[in-house]
Amino acid sequence: MAMAYLKSPSTDPAFNLALEQYVFDKMDRSKEYFMLWQNANTVVVGKNQNTFGEVNPKIIEEKGVTVVRRLSGGGAVYHDMGNLNFTFIMDAKEVGDLDIKLFCKPVESLLQELGVDAKVNGRNDITIGEKKFSGNSQYLKEGRIMHHGTLMFDSDLELVAAVLNVAGDKFQSKAIKSVKSRVTNIKPFLQEDITLADFENLLVKHILGDGAIEEITLTEAQIAEVEAIKAERYDKWEWNYGRSPEYTAIKERRIDGCGKIEAHMNTKEGKIVEIQFFGDFFGILDTSGMEDILVGVELKRETLEEALADVEVEKYFHGLAKETLIDIML
């Protein structure tokens, strides 16, 4: 299957996320797509995250940082013009689940060719040594997969550390003292002094080969469709922040191989009357489906086991066993 290349004409984060969705939903499914794009100062939060808990509002306001939510799961990431974002969109083929490492390998191999000891690591990171320069996530729908990742080439690491709130449990689980202590840029590790533009060209060549490249230029009509998606979703406070009711119980845990899960619950007479899940986990099904299943269920192990007996919990929370979900809720 042919792979086409698309470079976004914009640095507006809401436009770029809308563009990904447009390519995923609307463009020719007989092709595979490789995209590169950059955002001006932005925090992009995962689909399942509680935005208010992920960003530092004072710094966001002071620095004029945009906050926008993406379609895929995972954690919050910071973008600036020293960061390059990449996206693969293609048929999932035999993939019935998320396989993040598969799409990170080309980045790893390019950097190793350039003399950088980069490694695909953990759930969704690419690292140099113990430090992360790339976070990745995926969205799977109707047999089509979208994988996107960040490449911190020469980002402002001080601002990365300032804009993101990282919970104490994450510090503890990774034995770290600060965000800055565990992130890095690519540029200091390169043996030659190359620019971000040079690196971008090398990446395109590495992914798409030496032959003629089918490069897509968006038409005015296509840009108008992207702008419509942007206005309908990514420009809206309800999507990027959203309202959530007050909850009487919040249960949370970080699970190796899965991520952080928070269950926010209201109960009455021992039954769940409202529940919402937040966290930096991945999943191929929307957690609203899980929430619907659990409303009305008594908050007891046996009744939760009965309600979830035929439910594939891993489809909602990748890497999480059903018994562990029940443990968290209890």
Side-chain-side CA neighbours of residue 141 (13 Å): 13
Written as six digits, the tokens of 297 are 């269920």
- Specify which residues 42 forms β-bridges with: 66, 79
Task: Quote the pLDDT of residue 124.
Answer: 82
CA atoms within 13 A on the CB side of 174: 20
pLDDT the model gives residue 247:
83
pLDDT of amino acid 175: 28
Can you say how many angstroms the Cα of residue 279 is from the centroid of all Cα atoms in its chain? Answer: 11
What pLDDT was estimated at residue 255?
92
Query: pLDDT tens digit string along 22-51?
Result: 999 999 999 999 999 999 999 999 999 988
pLDDT digits (tens, 9 = 90+) for 220-258: 999 999 999 999 999 999 999 986 667 888 999 999 989
13 pLDDT higher than 90: yes
* Nearest of 89, 92, 95 to residue 27 by alpha carbon: 89
Question: Concatenated DSSP letters for 213-272?
Answer: --EE---HHHHHHHHHHIIIIIT-HHHHT------SEEEEEEETTTEEEEEEEEEETTEE
Residue carrying structure tokens 């973008």: 79
The whole-number pLDDT of residue 246 equals 79
Residue predicted with more confidence, 192 or 22: 22
Task: State residue 173's pLDDT score.
Answer: 36
In the numeric block, which tokens belong to residue 173?
């689980």
Q: Is 325 helix (H, G, I), strand (E, B) or coil?
A: helix
Q: What percentage of the chain exceeds 70 in pLDDT? A: 92
- The greatest distance separating any two alpha carbons of the chain, rounded to the nearest whole angstrom, comes to 67
In this predicted structure, what is the pLDDT of residue 53? 83
- Give the tokens for residue 54: 């992920």
User: Does residue 320 surpass a pLDDT of 80?
Assistant: yes
| Torsion from C-alpha of 196, 201, 203, 208, nearest 10 degrees | 160
Please name each of the domains of the chain with its CATH number: 3-240 (3.30.930.10), 249-329 (3.30.390.50)
pTM: 0.85
Alpha-carbon distance of 189 to 172, in angstroms, equals 28
pLDDT, residue 179, reads 52
Task: State yes or no: pLDDT of 178 exceeds 60.
Answer: no
Whole-angstrom CA distances from 76 to 12, 134, 200 are 17, 12, 23
Would you say 73 and 46 are in contact if contact means Cβ atoms under 8 Å apart? yes
**Quick check: 279 pLDDT over 90?**
yes
Residue 152 pLDDT grade (very low, low, confident, very high; cuts 50, 70, 90): very high
Check: CB of residue 40 under 8 Å from CB of residue 11: yes
How far apart, in Å, are the Cα atoms of 295 and each of 107, 158, 245, 252, 266?
Answer: 43, 43, 15, 18, 10
Q: Read off the pLDDT of each residue in 186-206 and give the average, rounded to a whole number.
A: 95
How do residues 47-105 score in pLDDT, each as one tens digit?
999 888 888 888 898 999 999 999 999 989 999 999 999 999 998 875 555 677 788 99
Using CA atoms, how far residue 164 sits from 92, 181, 320, in Å, is 32, 13, 25
